[in-house]
């Protein structure tokens, strides 16, 4: 339940609120009570109106609101209505149903890995390059990795706003005392299993508690992220043929799982801690390193602790860097009618949000908009720009109807990896379990095939 949302705290609260909404109403209502009603309230009738759906809470929600206000100020003729819905499956379910019900928003945010599912379901408008160019959006101005990852049959449907990779946070005080900083205050390289383990050990000697910490309990995404980061550094693949085949490389996966287990079994990393607990452990100085997506930056800035961030170490990659990541994209859901003016307004909003990448980047995300990313202003942002290289090494979740941000794929893989980290299963047994459950999903006929392209 904890893909990226801006802050873990915000995420949990929303999960909880969603649960509260469902109190006594059963599973179906739990996912879609109040937000659906607010969604229904956004009319499509008025001229000059523009509906925008997003899933940002916490610090990201504040920054998105600021950016939308920026758009409103620049385009007073457009009546922009923004709806913020709870992150996760319910969001994509609502977006799908609203689009099927011919009441879609004009513009919506979607994770790149989920946009692919929406495209396969025929729920997104294709965005011809010439039309995008008229709005000032051209592929050469967007992060090439994110842009290419969003293409389907060479056609564009989703405009990437950012890349949000898995990164490493480190406590600068702890690392200094542990002798892990060089004279310039730069973290020494952790780019091998030995160096990585050694750094954890030295950090533990300073904190007396743990070397590093990563969220495991009740977390259906983070174990997958750390596994995928290491596994893709070895060049491993999970699925092939759009999810119809499971192609896990046993040797590589075993190497990663054995390594992860060695970190927890030696007590360098706690083997059973939840999302908030992991944040607290790092914020309290009980661990020198913390592994999570960059979005937790604001959490630790608020905590006013001595920390910095860098790329998730290239433990297994050697010459090639790889790290688990996803992107927020801006999409136009399939519209019930063709309305060139509405479409213009939608593209204007998308361009306006890209133009305000500076605001967005404050949340830790690597902006996909190159005019800003290549600017001195971005390079001056620290520690944000320190891990910008992760965008090139970004590895997105494999394609498949059951895959993507917050999907069953992430739930299945995270659960298996978590049992290894927690010491409840041997790597071999966990891998067999992961494979069996993925094979089940791979063997199930896709519920989204046959959607009109």
Partner 1 sequence: MSTTQTAVRPAAGASQPTPRPARADRHGLPAAGFLAPFLTLYLLFILGPAAYGLVMSFFDASLVQSGLGAFAGFGNYAEALRSADFWSSLWHTLWFTILTTPPLIVLALAFALLADRAARGRWFFRLAFFMPYILPSAVVALIWMFLYTPELGLLQNMLGHIGITAPNWLGDPDWAMPSLALTTLWWTLGFNFVLYLAGLQEIPRDLYEASAIDGAGPWQQIRRITVPLLGRTTTLVAVLQVIASLKVFDQMYIMTSGGPNFATRSLIEYVYDEGFTNYRIGYAAAVSMLFFLVVLTVSAIWFRIVRRGQKEI
Residues that bind partner 1 (CB under 8 A): 1, 12, 15-17, 19-20, 22-23, 26-27, 30-31, 89-90, 93, 96-97, 100, 121, 123, 216-220, 270-274, 276-277, 280-281, 284, 286, 401-402, 406-408, 411, 415-416, 418-419, 422, 424-425, 433, 437, 440-441, 444-445, 447-448, 450-451
Q: Torsion-angle region of residue 102: left (phi > 0), alpha (psi -120 to 50) or beta?
A: left
Give min distance, CB of 205 to partner 1, in A.
Answer: 18
Angle (deg, nearest 10), helices 408-421 and 222-233:
80
Nearer to partner 1, 194 or 449 (CB): 449
Give min distance, CB of 260 to partner 1, in A.
Answer: 15
Contact 107, 332 (CB under 8 A): yes
Euclidean distance between the first and final Cα of the chain, in Å? 30
Instruction: Enter the tokens of residue 195.
Output: 């160096």
Phi, psi of 251 (to 5 degrees): -60, -45
Nearer to partner 1, 149 or 420 (CB): 420
Nearer to partner 1, 206 or 315 (CB): 206
Task: Give the Cα separation of 299 and 279 in Å (integer).
Answer: 8
Nearer to partner 1, 266 or 284 (CB): 284
Phi, psi of 412 (to 5 degrees): -65, -50
Give min distance, CB of 278 to partner 1, in A.
Answer: 9
Give min distance, CB of 392 to partner 1, in A.
Answer: 31
Q: Burial, 133: exposed, middle or buried (Cβ in 10 Å; 0-12, 13-18, 19+)?
A: exposed
Give min distance, CB of 121 to partner 1, in A.
Answer: 4
Give min distance, CB of 1 to partner 1, in A.
Answer: 5
The count of other CB atoms within 10 Å of the CB of residue 27 is 7
Give min distance, CB of 19 to partner 1, in A.
Answer: 4
Nearest-CA neighbor of 227 among 431, 442, 438? 431
Nearer to partner 1, 234 or 430 (CB): 430
Nearer to partner 1, 31 or 313 (CB): 31
For residue 169, give the 3-state DSSP assignment: strand
Nearer to partner 1, 197 or 217 (CB): 217
Residue 132's Cα: distance from chain center in Å? 25
């Amino acid at each position: 339940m904890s893909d990226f949302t801006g802050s873990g705290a915000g995420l949990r609260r929303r999960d909880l609120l969603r649960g509260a909404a469902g109190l006594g109403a059963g599973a179906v209502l739990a996912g879609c009570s109040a937000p659906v009603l607010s969604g229904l309230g956004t009319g499509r009738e008025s001229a000059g109106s523009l509906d925008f759906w997003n899933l940002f809470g916490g610090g990201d929600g504040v920054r998105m609101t600021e950016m939308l206000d920026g758009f409103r100020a620049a385009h007073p003729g457009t009546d922009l209505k923004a709806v913020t819905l709870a992150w996760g499956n319910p969001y994509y379910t609502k977006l799908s149903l609203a689009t099927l019900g011919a009441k879609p928003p004009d513009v919506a945010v979607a994770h790149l890995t989920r946009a692919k599912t929406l495209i396969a379901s025929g729920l997104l408008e294709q965005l011809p390059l010439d039309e995008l160019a008229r709005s000032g959006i051209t592929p050469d101005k967007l992060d090439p990795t994110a842009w290419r990852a969003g293409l389907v049959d060479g056609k564009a449907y989703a405009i990437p706003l950012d890349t949000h990779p898995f990164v490493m946070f480190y406590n600068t005080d702890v690392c200094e005392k542990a002798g892990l900083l060089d004279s310039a205050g730069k973290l020494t390289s952790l780019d091998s299993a030995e160096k990585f383990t050694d750094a954890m050990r030295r950090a533990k000697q300073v904190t007396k508690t743990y070397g590093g910490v990563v969220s495991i309990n009740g977390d259906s995404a983070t174990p997958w992220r750390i596994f995928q980061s290491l596994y893709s550094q070895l060049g491993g693949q999970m699925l092939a043929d759009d999810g119809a085949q499971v192609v896990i490389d046993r040797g590589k996966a075993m190497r990663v799982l054995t390594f992860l287990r060695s970190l927890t079994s030696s007590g360098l990393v706690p083997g059973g801690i939840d999302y908030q607990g992991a944040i607290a452990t790092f914020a309290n100085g009980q661990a020198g390193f913390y592994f999570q997506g960059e979005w937790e930056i604001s959490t630790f800035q608020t905590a006013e602790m001595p920390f910095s961030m860098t790329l998730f170490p290239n433990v297994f990659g050697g010459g090639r860097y790889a790290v688990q990541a996803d992107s927020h994209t801006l999409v136009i859901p399939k519209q019930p009618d063709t309305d060139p003016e509405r479409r213009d307004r939608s593209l204007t909003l998308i361009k306006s949000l890209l133009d305000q990448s500076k605001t967005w980047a404050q949340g830790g995300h690597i902006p996909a908009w190159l005019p800003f990313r290549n600017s001195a202003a971005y390079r001056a942002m620290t520690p944000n720009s320190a891990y910008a290289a992760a965008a090139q090494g970004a590895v997105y979740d494999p394609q498949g109807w059951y895959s993507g941000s917050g999907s069953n794929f992430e739930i299945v893989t995270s659960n298996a990896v978590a049992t290894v980290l927690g010491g409840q299963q041997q790597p071999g047994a966990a891998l067999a379990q992961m494979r069996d459950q993925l094979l089940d999903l791979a063997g199930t006929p896709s519920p989204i095939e046959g959607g009109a392209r």
